[in-house]
Structure 1
Amino acid sequence: MLKGHARTGNAAQCEHWYEQMVAAGVQPNVQTFNTLLDGCASAEDTALMEKWYDKMQAAGITADEKVYNALLKGHARKGSTAECERLYNQMVSSGAHPNAYIFNTILDGCAAAGDTALMEKWFGRMQAAGVVANKFTYNTLLKGLLRKSIE
């Protein structure tokens, strides 16, 4: 329920079902918020996404790599590479470990923004972190480079 309403940007229904869940004695956890955040990211509603992230923090729930990936996805889809950088640094400072999903999401944001120099920088950071590139990494790099060559 929560994910479906978050993906369609239906903030009122997200709030309703979240409150229903809490009223029923079901305590939200990191998976609850990851569902909400990922749905908002898919809907490219970063304002609602940030609202849920703030609520998660207020509840004392620690963000994990999946939460950070959802946050990164929301900002990457909008081409907000500076916000991706900030979130990445926050994630690393918190002790969470970047993985291929994290880097692929950031690389996709760079590709969407048409910033191949930044994309190459992030690929270098990925390699320096010892994270192994996969087929999605290379497809994203190719997509970014091809998009740039067409411009």
Structure 2
Amino acid sequence: MTRPLLPHPVLSLVLAATWLLVANTVTIGHLLLAAVLGLTIPWITWRFWPDRPRLARPGRIPAYIGRVLADIVVANFEVARQVLGPVSSLQPTFVEVPVDLTDDFALTVFASTVSLTPGTVSADVSDDRCWLLVHALHADDPAAVAEQVKARYEAPLKEIFGC
């Protein structure tokens, strides 16, 4: 199998844009470095990407990102309130969330999203990929936490990835 010249064009653009944002300046040198990074990193890591993710509804990605960002902001305030309150009121627990996603990349995005949201961390994925073990900082009702995670994050990912 031959290595394509531009194996992941979207990743190349994201890497170049990220470099320019991190550099916080747009000069010829930074533009060239952004282009080099955007072209070489995907080209070098090409073999680590066995299957390209298949997007069934890419138009839903902005809404998903917006939801996750809004949830991160809200969860930050909620976690701050919980942590600054009495420790005895916290009910940390592990929650087993059943997973219906069939695409490995979608499952990775799902687990990462759960970990990005303050107050929850993805701890493990079962060997058969049917369960995601999530640690919740506070959960009065673990079943409700599992349903909320599925409804807010897994359901949109099933639409986006068509799985």
Who wins on radius of gyration, i.e. which is larger? 2
State the TM-score, normalizing by the size of structure 2: 0.26
Structure with more helix by fraction: 1
Q: Which structure has the higher relative contact order (CA within 8 Å, separation 6+)?
A: 2
